[in-house]
Structure 1
């Protein structure tokens, strides 16, 4: 197969590219360095020539619901339009577990992305996964005062990005299936414990403090909305195995 990967240099995208190539597929990486701009749509038509499936794992670092929604809506519409013109048979996208129940901040964009895919013309599959193990490192330092690190009170069930990539490539090799079962890690964690373990690998002293985020968004972090429920699939690598 010929598979195009949008966001192919990101945390999960680089694994998708590796897994697809290891599986013998011809891979096209949709990046600006390869002449493709997902936001403007420039270069997409040529890049998708002969492509059988597109795996979209593109992302944007923002906590703004408006910015996230604009990014994911624009990129999805550009991809679907170019896919239709190129005759692509399968659009695969990565979303987030619980985003439909917590459409706030960054998650608002994932909800908009799923809606755009659902009304598009390309047969599709959407996989919702939990946060990656790397999420602890991303949160570390976002709110930092000297040796004090503040993290949100949050339940999580982190999964290895490589395992998400393997599932996405497996999905792309199959037929479009709509919304498939959620994918989470093997066990639930408290985010504060993950960040403390991550901080312990860094030089110096670090005091990690946990604070609840106010409002509906913070409630979703704490009440289990963002962890997989019954019927979900699970990876095998734990956060601490990954950290080691």
Structure 2
């Protein structure tokens, strides 16, 4: 099967492309760095020639909700229109558990717009909501750290391994469109501050963590807001197993 992966050079997109290739599929990588632009549409029609399925694993970080909505909206409209012209039969969207319960986060505002456009669009679709990834704590540190100090919101999450995300996306891409898929999460709830501490230790990175709510993810994300539904699909890799792999890569 010929499958395009939008965001193919990113954290999840690259892994998904590899998972699909290992399963014997022909993968078309779609990324601005590879000359295919979802904002302008440059080279997109050529890239989607003969493609049956598109996996959208694109991401865009923005501090302003209007900017995020505009960016995600433009890219999604452009991609869906090109898919319709190419006769694509299945659009698979990587999304996030809990985005409808948190209004103040710019990235989540953009993802809600992306979901809305896909659900109302011309291409049969599956929206796949995942919980935060195992490397989310490290990502938050990279956003917030200054002079060796990193504010960390005390979130309760149920993180999932990026490799598991990629494998599941690859599986769903080769199935029929299912509209909204059930929540997908890792095996165990975790405290983000503790995740940040353990991840930093595994990376050999010295940083002072300061638990605090911020504009990144404020108190509206407290409690069970970011946890999956009771009928969630549970991926196999634990946070401890992921940390062990992280330590091995350092040695």
- Bin of the TM-score, shorter chain as denominator length: over 0.9
Corresponding position of 2:249: none
Corresponding position of 1:78: 78
Could you tell me which runs of 5 or more consecutive residues in structure 2 were left unpaired when the two chains were aligned: 245-251
3-state DSSP of counterpart to 1:5: strand
Q: Given the two structures, how large is their TM-score scaled by the length of structure 1?
A: 0.94
Corresponding position of 1:93: 93
Instruction: Please tell me whether the aligned partners of residues 200 and 206 of structure 1 are also in contact (alpha carbons under 8 angstroms).
Output: no
- How many residues were matched structurally? 243
Cα-to-partner distance string for 1:158-178 (whole Å, 9 max, x where unaligned): 101111111111111111110
Alignment of structure 1 residues 1-244 onto 2, 5 Å: 1-104=1-104, 105-203=106-204, 205-213=206-214, 218-244=218-244
Moved more, 145-154 or 14-23: 145-154
Instruction: Please tell me whether the aligned partners of residues 103 and 111 of structure 1 are also in contact (alpha carbons under 8 angstroms).
Output: no
**Shift in Å at residue 236 of structure 1?**
1.4
3-state DSSP of counterpart to 1:95: strand
Moved more, 79-88 or 218-227: 218-227
Cα-to-partner distance string for 1:19-53 (whole Å, 9 max, x where unaligned): 00000000000012332001111111010000000
**Shift in Å at residue 203 of structure 1?**
4.2
Q: Distance in 2 between matches of 1:146 and 1:54?
A: 42
Cα-to-partner distance string for 1:118-153 (whole Å, 9 max, x where unaligned): 111100000000111111111114223433221112
**Shift in Å at residue 214 of structure 1?**
6.5
Q: Distance in 2 between matches of 1:224 and 1:108?
A: 19
1:34/1:214 CA distance change after superposition, 3 Å: closer
3-state DSSP of counterpart to 1:36: coil
Q: Distance in 2 between matches of 1:203 and 1:163?
A: 25
1:161/1:54 CA distance change after superposition, 3 Å: same
**Shift in Å at residue 211 of structure 1?**
0.7
**Shift in Å at residue 209 of structure 1?**
1.4
Instruction: Please tell me whether the aligned partners of residues 76 and 116 of structure 1 are also in contact (alpha carbons under 8 angstroms).
Output: yes
Q: Distance in 2 between matches of 1:183 and 1:102?
A: 18
**Shift in Å at residue 83 of structure 1?**
0.4
Cα-to-partner distance string for 1:86-138 (whole Å, 9 max, x where unaligned): 00000000110011121332100110001001111100000000111111111
Q: Distance in 2 between matches of 1:166 and 1:220?
A: 31
Post-superposition, which runs of at least 4 consecutive aligned residues in structure 1 deviate over 6 A? none
3-state DSSP of counterpart to 1:93: strand
Instruction: Please tell me whether the aligned partners of residues 153 and 213 of structure 1 are also in contact (alpha carbons under 8 angstroms).
Output: no
Instruction: Please tell me whether the aligned partners of residues 153 and 221 of structure 1 are also in contact (alpha carbons under 8 angstroms).
Output: no
